A and B are shown apart, each in its own frame.
Chain A
Amino acid sequence: MPELEITKIQELIYELRVGDVMHKDVVTVMPSTPVSKLREVLRDNRISGTPVVENGRLVGIISVEDFIKWLGEGSPGCAVADRMTRNVIAVCADEPLIQAVNKLERLGFGRLPVLKRGTEEVVGILTKGDSIAGLLKKLDVDYRQAETRHARSSHIFEDIVADRSSLIFEYDVAGGGDVERAGASASGLKTSLMRLGINPQTVRRAAIATYEAEMNLMFFTNGGLITAIIESNSIRLEVTDDGPGIENVDQAMRPGFSTAPDWVRELGFGAGMGLHNIKTCADRMRLDSTVGVGTHLEVEILVGGKREVIRDHATVTA
């Protein structure tokens, strides 16, 4: 396990670009700035060096060491241009962070100006502190994902050799208004999908659709079954019950339409948005219902690809 962790951190260092961690609000001085003014610039901004820029182009760099040297010489009246380092070593924003960190280390510099590739335009400044902070932040973000990997189920579809494979989860939902327990299916599905390593936004959509369907079963039926069929590129939800059925499916789909009784409304439900919410979470939705027989709802959510675009055009057939 330790080996895996190290690989992950190494991966991160290579993945991160200078532009991801650099300071974007760069304080610069002009070549004509008097060296005597430098103290305020460095002190007020709490920095130890700054790029020298003329007409948008990087022409040098000046640091607190240069300033101290100037002080030691009895602070003669001169401009930044006379004291700055002219052959500046810079890095590009799209360079891997690891290269820039190596450069800082090798050259013993405290900071490197960051240029837009192919130009002399300063877009940021990189210090060792920035690099460390950037890495820590990235590590934190990745922590959740790493946790998912520990569940050891995220690669299941890659590990299975088959033309098609699917995982099926079934959830029994009690009917008759059992408010305390309702929601457990959506919660269980969410946890399971996270463990499969599915992107959290997609997981939330599946969880919301499941939750709304679950509430419909709980409030309006004697119970039913939610089946989630998970394949490598889609999550399909099937919700079935055996009554009472929906009289007018078109009407039920309309935002704001609700048949919920008062006690349901008092709990915060009954806004008439349930089916509509399911629709906005789905890439495809199908609702069949026969009064006295039951209702069958199918929801498909695509995993991966440009699903966010597709989602707004969810097709609903009834």
Chain B
Amino acid sequence: MKLKDVCKILEAESAWEADWTPSATREVTSCQASDLISDILSFRGPDSLLLTGLTNVQVIRVAELLDFVAICFVRGKRPEPEAVKLAEDKDIPLFATPLLMYEACGRLYAARLPAGTKKEASPIA
């Protein structure tokens, strides 16, 4: 599923004034949702979308470390300025959806976007 399709399903828009059009065709293969940093850090698999209600700079950090494709903030929350700065620096698109976490997850799941795996697949030797 392309990032632009995800945004359409979630009725999401850019979480700040930046134009993420170039990233619209990025492929999203799974989704993870949590408001706990340590939970997010137990997720595996690149090309995931992160759904969260956390808007601080550390959410961007973990998205960077885990190679998330993009972050979508639920409930219309907007990221803190420090978070925006880091996201811009690390080229992580930020979106905001007016939906609550439950409905955001439900819509994506219904659109057959799977949950990310908990463990990484064995690397190809």
B57, A268: Cβ atoms under 8 Å? no
Bound CA span A3–B66, Å:
34
Is chain A's binding surface mostly helix, strand, loop or mixed? helix
Bound CA span A152–B28, Å:
31
Contacts of B123 in A (CB 8 A): 199, 201-202, 308
Cβ-neighbour of A271 out of B38, B56, B66, B67 (below 8 A) = B38
Classify chain B's interface size.
Answer: 20 to 34
Contacts of A272 in B (CB 8 A): 38
A306's nearest neighbour on chain B, judged by CB, is: B122
Contacts of B35 in A (CB 8 A): 268
Q: Does B98 sit within 8 A of A, measured CB to CB? A: no
B65, A208: Cβ atoms under 8 Å? yes
Bound CA span A114–B120, Å:
32
B65, A212: Cβ atoms under 8 Å? no
B17-25, B39-47, B104-112: which one contacts chain A? B39-47
B62, A211: Cβ atoms under 8 Å? yes
Contacts of A176 in B (CB 8 A): none
Contacts of B82 in A (CB 8 A): 180
Classify chain A's interface size.
Answer: 20 to 34
B54's nearest neighbour on chain A, judged by CB, is: A268
B65, A187: Cβ atoms under 8 Å? yes
Q: Does B5 sit within 8 A of A, measured CB to CB? A: no
B57, A180: Cβ atoms under 8 Å? yes
What per-residue 1/0 map shows which CB atoms of A274-289 lie under 8 Å from chain B?
A: 1011001000000000
Task: Count A-B contacts at CB 8 Å.
Answer: 81
Q: Which of A182-208 contact B (CB under 8 A)?
A: 182-183, 186-187, 190, 199-202, 204-205, 207-208
What per-residue 1/0 map shows which CB atoms of A166-185 lie under 8 Å from chain B?
A: 00000000000001101100
Q: Does A269 sit within 8 A of B, measured CB to CB? A: yes
Bound CA span A220–B63, Å:
23
B65, A182: Cβ atoms under 8 Å? no
Contacts of B56 in A (CB 8 A): 179, 267-268
Contacts of B52 in A (CB 8 A): 268
Q: A183-B61, A211-B61 are in contact. Are A268 and B67 (CB under 8 A)?
A: no
Bound CA span A277–B66, Å:
13
B38, A183: Cβ atoms under 8 Å? no
Bound CA span A190–B62, Å:
12
Q: A204-B67, A268-B56 are in contact. Are A212 and B61 (CB under 8 A)?
A: no
A204, B37: Cβ atoms under 8 Å? no
Closest 10 CB pairs of A and B: A273-B38, A183-B61, A271-B38, A268-B54, A207-B65, A271-B36, A268-B37, A308-B122, A201-B120, A199-B123
Residues of A within 8 A of B (CB): 179-180, 182-183, 186-187, 190, 199-202, 204-205, 207-208, 211-212, 215, 267-269, 271-274, 276-277, 280, 306, 308
